[in-house]
């Protein structure tokens, strides 16, 4: 990331207090007795693993989920006393490293269970692990019959500490999806004989699906970072990140001329165009560009919404600022491309993707700072 704001094409502001506030909001939605963890994989969805983990710990979060052991090691270095689960499971030959790092693998198949059991037997110590069931998503996890078989083999499960039983929702963002209830019923049926063990099902969407899905531990991700968990409801989370890109040049483009690569869009009036220093190398998806056939994304400068015009290039975009007063935009001005006035989910819709991809894909060329975000503009 760029160490100097004056040398960067844009700046990324991250509001750690807003992340903590989102965690507290989610925790408050859970049924009594359900603990709230935090999923901070992929550099805490682009907000910075260690700083985000430390702020959440200060807010009261003690349990964290990451995707990979390397991410877990970052959390452990920042929070020696935290509970850290590795969702990606047990990579072959990595048991010693996970145990040494005090990381808890989520065991997703019989081979992983066997390897972890053998390691614990060899060390004569019952290290903790979680077991994941596949209840209908068909990614990682044991099918119910495999899980039952594993649980019946006391020589396996008796050699380590089962810290958690868990599964993952496939369609939680759609509260009406029949698969949600099917997964819930499958999970209950498979784990009911072991209900003395902690259970977890709710990701961000699961928190909003209600208490049936909460069990003992929720592990929200996208909602912590201001993302939209449910497709069919308003987003109640606080925005936590703002991307502002620098205006490099203003130019006047006569009616009938095109902008950028491929001449994708023809201006229909004499236009004032701002060339802005952020592109797909900075996480602004190319698909969010516009053409004569479809609108693209937008930015905000002052209290003015300014549409993207033409293709998104690697290092820059063009914005139509014709309707912005001259005193509100100039060389060196900053345009908000994501933040309180430009929701990641809205911008993602233009790119035919999701806010997860926008947040985790923000480039490393921004000048990064930690501060409170401004309130949304009234337009």
**Phi, psi for 104 (deg, rounded to 5):** -105, 115
Domain 241-370 has what CATH class?
A: mainly beta
**Rounded Cα gap, residues 85 and 194, in angstroms:** 20
CB hemisphere CA count around 52 (13 angstroms) = 30
Fold match flag (31-225 vs 241-370):
no
- The full set of domain ranges for the chain reads 31-225, 241-370
For residue 27, the surrounding DSSP H or E stretch is helix 16-29
Of the candidates 138, 67, 83, the one whose C-alpha atom is nearest the C-alpha of residue 109 is 138
Q: How many residues are recorded in the chain?
A: 379
Catalytic status, residue 41: yes
Residue 344 confidence (pLDDT): 83
State the residue for tokens 């935009």. Answer: 329
The edge-to-edge listing of strands for the beta sheet with 63-66 is: 35-36, 217-218, 199-200, 161-166, 128-132, 104-107, 83-86, 63-66, 38-39
Q: CB pairs under 8 A, 24+ apart, for 290-296?
A: 290/264, 290/265, 291/264, 291/265, 292/264, 292/265, 292/266, 295/350, 296/350
**Rounded Cα gap, residues 188 and 195, in angstroms:** 9
Residue 362 confidence (pLDDT): 82
Instruction: Name the percent of the chain lying above pLDDT 70.
Output: 99
For residue 247, the surrounding DSSP H or E stretch is strand 241-253
Contact 297, 347 (CB under 8 A): yes
Of the residues 6, 228, 261, 272, only one is catalytic, namely 261
Of the residues 27, 41, 225, 280, only one is catalytic, namely 41
Close Cβ partners of 364 (under 8 Å, ≥ 6 residues apart): 1
Contact 240, 227 (CB under 8 A): no
Work out the average pLDDT over 251-259: 96
**Phi, psi for 26 (deg, rounded to 5):** -65, -45
Q: What is the pLDDT of residues 234-246, one digit of tens each?
A: 889 999 999 999 9
- The DSSP-derived string for 152-191 is H-HHHHTTSEEEEEE---SSTTSTT-HHHHHHHHHHHHHH
| pLDDT surpassing 80 at residue 315 | yes
141 — alpha (psi -120 to 50), left (phi > 0) or beta?
Answer: left
**Phi, psi for 363 (deg, rounded to 5):** -70, 170
Work out the average pLDDT over 355-370: 85
Tokens of 319: 């914005």
Work out the average pLDDT over 75-97: 97
| pLDDT surpassing 80 at residue 197 | yes
Instruction: Name the percent of the chain lying above pLDDT 90.
Output: 85
Catalytic status, residue 31: no
- The DSSP-derived string for 67-123 is SSHHHHHHHHHH-TT-EEEETT---TT-HHHHHHTT-EEEE-SHHHHHHHHHHHHHH
**Rounded Cα gap, residues 347 and 290, in angstroms:** 12
CATH number for the 31-225 domain, one of 3.30.2290.10, 3.20.20.10, 3.40.50.720, 3.40.50.150?
A: 3.20.20.10
Contact 224, 22 (CB under 8 A): yes
Q: Whole-structure pTM over 0.85, yes or no?
A: yes
Mean pLDDT of the residues in the chain: 94
pLDDT band at 379 (very low <50, low <70, confident <90, very high): low
User: Quick one: CA torsion of 261, 263, 269, 275, rounded to 10 degrees?
Assistant: 0
């Amino acid at each position: 990331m760029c160490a100097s704001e004056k040398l960067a094409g844009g700046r990324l502001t991250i509001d750690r207090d807003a992340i903590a506030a989102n965690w507290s909001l989610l925790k408050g939605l859970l049924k009594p007795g359900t603990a709230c963890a935090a999923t901070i994989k992929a550099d805490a969805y682009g907000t910075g693993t260690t700083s985000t983990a430390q702020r959440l710990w200060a807010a009261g979060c003690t349990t964290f989920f990451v995707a990979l052991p390397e991410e877990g090691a970052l959390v452990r270095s920042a929070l020696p006393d935290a509970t850290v689960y590795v969702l990606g499971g047990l990579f072959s030959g990595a048991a010693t490293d996970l145990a040494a790092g005090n990381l808890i693998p989520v065991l997703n198949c019989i081979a992983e269970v066997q390897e972890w059991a053998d390691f614990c037997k060899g060390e004569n110590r019952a290290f903790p692990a979680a077991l994941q069931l596949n209840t209908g998503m068909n990614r990682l996890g044991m099918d119910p019959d495999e899980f039952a078989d594993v649980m019946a083999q006391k020589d396996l499960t008796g050699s380590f500490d089962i810290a958690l039983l868990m599964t993952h929702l496939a369609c939680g963002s759609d509260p009406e999806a029949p698969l949600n209830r099917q997964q819930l019923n499958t999970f209950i049926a498979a784990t009911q004989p072991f209900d003395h063990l902690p259970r977890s099902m709710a990701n961000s969407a699961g928190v909003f699906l209600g208490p049936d899905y909460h069990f003992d531990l929720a592990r929200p991700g996208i909602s912590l970072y201001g993302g939209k968990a449910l497709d069919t409801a308003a987003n109640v989370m606080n925005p936590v990140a703002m991307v502002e890109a620098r205006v490099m040049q203003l130019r006047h483009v006569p009616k009938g001329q095109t902008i950028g690569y491929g001449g994708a869009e023809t201006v229909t009036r004499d236009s004032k165009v701002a060339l802005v220093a952020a592109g797909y190398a900075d996480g602004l998806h190319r698909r969010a560009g516009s053409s004569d056939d479809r609108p693209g994304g937008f930015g905000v400068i002052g209290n003015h919404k300014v549409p993207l015009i033409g293709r998104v290039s690697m290092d820059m975009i063009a914005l139509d600022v014709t309707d912005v007063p001259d005193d509100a935009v100039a060389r060196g001005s900053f345009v908000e491309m994501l933040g309180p006035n430009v929701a990641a989910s809205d911008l993602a819709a233009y790119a035919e993707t999701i806010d997860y991809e926008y947040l985790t894909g923000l480039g490393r060329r921004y000048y990064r700072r930690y501060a409170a975000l401004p309130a949304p503009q009234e337009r």
